[in-house]
Structure 1
């Protein structure tokens, strides 16, 4: 009578993060349509701010050097890429066993759509204390201008 029914695997995740593992399995990963909707664990983390004169992007890359990062802009898309090496040197096969590794290592790339009207030819990037600040000035014709009111 019930021969057509298939058995479902209902095993619970083990360990201290079982609820997070269960929730991650229930909800699909978010896309990158909004700055707050990137998948958990994305590297590097990015903050974006805007003033009347420019857009500033802060790339948080602790443990990296300026030489390990590459920043480029093409078609109003800012891309930050590079490689992060392991913080712990491998001493050879069989000499170290990792029980948990949370720090990301390897190649990475993050892309961010930029607003229209930026002068990417005058873009600058500065790196200090693990934070890369990218300054993207607005074109002069798009900056707000104050218009004097003349009394008649």
Structure 2
């Protein structure tokens, strides 16, 4: 069994995300590409208080998953965090990588927020996030799921 490690990413530009960008685009998602675009422009660098970007690395040190935590930009309520730009490489799905990353983000969110929100529009995403304890409800702006922390 491979060993996976979660590490905070302080500068995403120091990592090769090309494979994750291409895979996500093949899946019909643009959010990993948007992560890079926003990071390069300075729009979202996950560097405010309570914000983090984490990567999961395999035993060869290859980045196989990424996900971030922001202050929710769609509300003025500072008690709400948002899980964003969450993606797991295809060959590592259903191996616990996504859960490992999500649990790290949830643990960090608990230190700063009372509620954690996210948006997904896929059935697989819904199943994954509800298995982690998120409730499906759009009661928060531009979100599909939330978790009381």
* Coarse TM-score class (shorter-chain normalised): under 0.3
Q: Which has the higher helix share?
A: 2
Larger Rg: 1
Instruction: Pick 1 or 2: higher relative contact order, CA cutoff 8 A, min separation 6.
Output: 1
**TM-score (norm: length of structure 2):** 0.27
Q: Which has the higher strand share?
A: 1
